[in-house]
Amino acid sequence: MTVLVTGVAGFIGCDTALRLLDRGERVVGIDNVSGYYSTRLKQARLDRLEGRDGFTFHRIDLADRGALAAALDDTADVRRVVHLAAQPGVRHSIDHPFDYVDANLAGHVEILEYCRRREGLEHLVYASSSSVYGDTSRRPFSVADRTGRPLSLYGATKLACEQMSHCYSHLYGLHQTGLRFFTVYGPWGRPDMAVYTFTDAIAAGRPIRVFNRGDMRRDFTFIDDIVTGVLAALDNPPPAEAPHRLYNIGNSQPEPLDRLIGLIETALGKRAEMIMEPMQPGEVGETHADIGETRRDLGFEPVTTLESGIPRFVEWYRSYHGA
Ligand SMILES: NC(=O)c1ccc[n+]([C@@H]2O[C@H](COP(=O)([O-])OP(=O)(O)OC[C@H]3O[C@@H](n4cnc5c(N)ncnc54)[C@H](O)[C@@H]3O)[C@@H](O)[C@H]2O)c1
């Protein structure tokens, strides 16, 4: 049996593929290696996968209609799909709206069409985001809450993906699980996210920009816990009577920005110079995952605290950058 992993050159996709290979699955990975951030980092992630038994890679743009089905012939034996490819980032969506239309909307429909036509396909697991909660005032964020008001185009496209998935499950009985990830960090992480940008700046002695004057809390979730959640979801397809399910995958422990900065300072042995700035458009003040249902249905239990995860990120950062 083969698992198709999209976004395999990405942060979460690469580690997901590695964990699947470790447990003996065959993995077909696809990615367009987009230039949104360092393609050198994406290639370095692919280097971790290339040469592993059972791994094949296709460089495909999901916005290229039909390219996926053409590349994966019937011999691929794809039974399960983990769809992680997307244009991420709240801030980038302010100035580059069509990147989100192509990768997230057209890309998601491309995957849905592939899955519904694929004989014997058992389960599609796809990435959603805490950004779908937008200005929801209730804490913690629960999948049972109404989520109709995202604050960024990124969040709006992720919400649209969930709705399109719901529709495909209803129409074609496609078994799907959508995972709302909460601020993922760790080794091989994304250079556009706070943990990486702060580490990079503090290490180089540059000031860091602290938005909303530091009055922000994020439910930082370590990559290993995220991948454990992805695999738990993949192994537990929803039942035929309710073929589409949604779960939060988060640490369920919102942390203030100053604590994050303090932990990075300690791990680097350097003090941060901070420039206080107002809230960025599209951002929310706090994220906090209610993981009650994820625990109950998938046995999901995050185990990595920010205190233990940040030194592991910084250690990787140093070795990757030769610092
Ligand atoms: N990292 C987080 O904190 C976080 C939080 C919430 C949701 N998510 C979601 O999780 C998924 C994975 O995120 P990530 O952090 O690994 O991001 P990432 O950018 O590292 O990985 C996404 C990958 O998708 C690829 N891609 C983009 N557009 C594509 C296209 N049109 N066709 C083929 N490949 C394409 C990119 O090249 C990239 O390698 C995304 O769907 C993202 O929206 C991530």
Instruction: Tell me which residue has its CA closest to atom 43 in ligand 1.
Output: 88
Residue 226: is its pLDDT beyond 70?
yes
Cα angle value 31/33/36 (rounded, 5°): 125
Return the bridge partners of 249, or none: 181
Is residue 178 in contact with ligand 1, taking CB distance under 6 Å?
Answer: no
Tell me the best of 5, 14, 31 to mutate to test the pocket of ligand 1, counting ligand atoms within 8 Å of each CB and taking the most.
Answer: 31
> What is the distance between the alpha carbons of residues 7 and 232, in angstroms, rounded to a whole number?
19
H or E stretch at 246: strand 244-249
Alpha helices (runs of H) in 62-123, residue ranges in sequence order: 67-71, 92-95, 97-100, 107-117
Instruction: Tell me which residue has its CA closest to atom 27 in ligand 1.
Output: 86
**Burial zone of 246 (CB within 10 Å; 0-12 exposed, 13-18 middle, 19+ buried):** buried
Active-site pick, 37, 114, 126, 154: 154
Residue (of 296, 297, 304, 210) closest to 250 by Cα position: 304
Residue 248 has what pLDDT?
Answer: 98
> What is the distance between the alpha carbons of residues 304 and 147, in angstroms, rounded to a whole number?
28
Active site includes 37? no
Domains in the chain with CATH codes: 2-181+221-252+288-303 (3.40.50.720)
Rounded mean pLDDT of 106-120?
96
Q: How far is the CA of 12 from the centre of ligand 1 (A)?
A: 7
Is residue 226 in contact with ligand 1, taking CB distance under 6 Å?
Answer: no
Q: How far is the CA of 7 from the centre of ligand 1 (A)?
A: 6
**Whole-number average pLDDT of the chain:** 95
Rounded mean pLDDT of 165-186?
98
| C-beta separation of 16 from 4 below 8 A | no
Q: How far is the CA of 84 from the centre of ligand 1 (A)?
A: 5
Is residue 10 in contact with ligand 1, taking CB distance under 6 Å?
Answer: yes
Is residue 61 in contact with ligand 1, taking CB distance under 6 Å?
Answer: yes
Residue 251: is its pLDDT beyond 80?
yes
Q: How far is the CA of 30 from the centre of ligand 1 (A)?
A: 12
Residue 59: is its pLDDT beyond 70?
yes
Query: Poorest-confidence range of 72-76, 103-107, 218-222?
Result: 72-76
> What is the distance between the alpha carbons of residues 248 and 263, in angstroms, rounded to a whole number?
25
Q: How far is the CA of 269 from the centre of ligand 1 (A)?
A: 31
> What is the distance between the alpha carbons of residues 158 and 147, in angstroms, rounded to a whole number?
11
Instruction: Tell me which residue has its CA closest to atom 42 in ligand 1.
Output: 88
Place of tokens 């599209």: 282
> What is the distance between the alpha carbons of residues 237 and 178, in angstroms, rounded to a whole number?
11
Residue (of 20, 23, 124) closest to 68 by Cα position: 124
pTM of the shown model? 0.97
Residue 176 has what pLDDT?
Answer: 98
Rounded mean pLDDT of 138-165?
92
Rounded mean pLDDT of 291-306?
98
Is residue 155 in contact with ligand 1, taking CB distance under 6 Å?
Answer: no
Under the banding of pLDDT at 50, 70 and 90, the label for residue 13 is very high
Residue 96, number of CB atoms within 10 A of its CB: 14
Length of the chain in residues, anyone?
323
Is residue 111 in contact with ligand 1, taking CB distance under 6 Å?
Answer: no
> Reduced to 3 DSSP states, what percent helix, strand and coil does the chain have, rounded to the nearest 5?
45, 20, 40
> What is the distance between the alpha carbons of residues 68 and 47, in angstroms, rounded to a whole number?
22
User: What percentage of residues in the chain have a pLDDT greater than 70?
Assistant: 99
Is residue 188 in contact with ligand 1, taking CB distance under 6 Å?
Answer: no
Residue 74 has what pLDDT?
Answer: 65
User: What percentage of residues in the chain have a pLDDT greater than 90?
Assistant: 88
Residue 266: is its pLDDT beyond 80?
yes
Place of tokens 């290339």: 50
